[in-house]
Amino acid sequence: MAIVPSAIARGPDRIRSPLLAPGDAAASALCYPFVQPSPQLLRASGKKVFAWYFPPFQLSTHNELDSKNWYERWLSPTGAGSGNLEYLSTGGLLRDRPLPMPKRPEPNWKQLNFEVEIRQAIAMGLDGFILEMSYRQVHSDDRFNRVRDMLAAAKAVDPEFRILLAPGFPKGAQDTPDELAQTLLAVIDHPSVFRLPDGRVPLATFSPERPAKDGGKPILWWQQLLDLLRAQGVEPAWYPMFLSRTAMNSIPNLAEWRATMAGYSIFEGKTASQAASNVSEAVDARKYGLDWMARVAFQDMRVRKSAEKVELRHWESSNSATLRALFEKAIESDAQMLNILTWNDYGETQVAPSRDRGYAVTDLLAYYTTWFKTGQAPPIARDALYYFHRKHRTDAPYDTGKQTAGPFTIPSGPVAENQVELLAFLTEPGQLSIRQGSDLRTLSAPAGMTSFKAPLVAGTTPQFELSRGNQVVESLTSATPVQASVDYQDMTYYAGGSIECARPL
């Protein structure tokens, strides 16, 4: 996971109407180009969609005024005036942040902020969050002490929205599972905790296969934890979240792990070329009577700094292609559960409504969530245009006197791409265009969803149009100009959309 460190957006979604009143998440269906079933109908599906929630990057970490928000410090190379120059060589710890959240006067501001995110998730059709939590009931970082606030928020907004517990574990070689068991038992009976139809309580654990030198535990340790819960009348279902298939295969007694777990998922593999593993993993899991929790992500980009080294890394997500491919293969796999990686880990991969992407990614997730749950691509009800592109080409020069940590690199997978994408949802055929300065590209597109790409042109601001019969039906200008050179590299895929609507808050 990542290092723990008055307009609602900058314009990418053209949101001009008032925000929805609290609790009115269902009305946001008008924000989508497709026909979205009601939350009740989506929940009737046996297929469940969750997003992994990373506590360090909540809407507001300390309920500050937005101008003094910690996000401004994490985004700034100079710490936004805080005097912290730790990330001066990398251009900041983060490249994106959640939508601004005003300072709240209420004493239960933590719960109220969680309620905002829960309404956003419900509007997308999600069943719940997978909440990363500490093995301790009281953690030194208060952001991990808000499990009860999250559970209370779920119950207050919608009693059917569920929290799937994802506990960490102690790293000491002599640590027993007793403390973790007590931490889980303190919250596991809450009505908002997710249970399987047979009453079992799923527990998701991130990277339990890690070597013992890094805090990993033998399978006997995990079996003891599950037995401690059973002794208190709780029947658990263990779902390890392995870092990778390679890491999973490195477990010496994998057969015993398979006999202990109910299912599993994998965190890595966030490129379009790796999407087929959603199918192959499902096939493999079923051979052993296990559930495969499919995974979906939009983009993975990381700034890493330790005593030993500094790393700027990203994996090429090909605009929106990775998200679409992973979701389509998840649908093909017939998996019963799906894990979106992640809701809000801004240090690696996030999909929540954000400053630089607005609601474009969440709208696309809502479309595929409906498809995943119903088994059918939802019909298109209104025309809509979405764009995805970087703020500079990956080969654009940067200031090596400022970004002294070196360039962003791709550890594995596809090489860097430099394209602008227009993702169109059309009720009937139409003519699409992408204009970047004097560079004009056009495409005759059928009804439905079409991905149209063109080479990214530096020094321009992309413009997008849909026309029929020489009449412009939809037009959209990117909120992100494409810079010819930069001080610091930013491999983020910026995004935006054309539908004007109210959003849940």
Tell me if residue 227 falls in helix, strand or coil. helix
Mean pLDDT value across the chain:
93
Question: b/e map of 447-484 (b: 16 or more CB within 10 Å)?
Answer: eebbbbbbebbbebebbbbbeeeeeebbebbbbbebbe
63: alpha, beta or left? (left if phi > 0; alpha if psi -120 to 50): left
* Cα gap 213→418, rounded to integer Å: 40
Check residue 10 and give its pLDDT.
30
Residue 258 has pLDDT above 60, yes or no: yes
**For residue 215, what pLDDT band results from cuts at 50, 70 and 90?**
very high
The CA distance from 83 to 86, in Å, is 9
Q: Supply the pLDDT for residue 63.
A: 92
End-to-end CA distance of the chain: 27
- Predicted local confidence at residue 2, as pLDDT: 59
- Domains (range + CATH), the chain: 25-374 (3.20.20.80), 385-497 (2.60.40)
Mean pLDDT value across residues 350-355: 97
Across 277-293, average pLDDT: 98
* pLDDT for the residue 26: 54
Torsion of CA 259, 264, 268, 274, to 10 degrees: 100
Over 60: is that where the pLDDT of 453 sits? yes
- pLDDT value at position 6? 24
pLDDT tens-digit profile of 428-442? 999 999 999 999 999
> 147-193: per-residue pLDDT in tens?
999 999 999 999 999 999 999 999 999 999 999 999 999 999 999 99
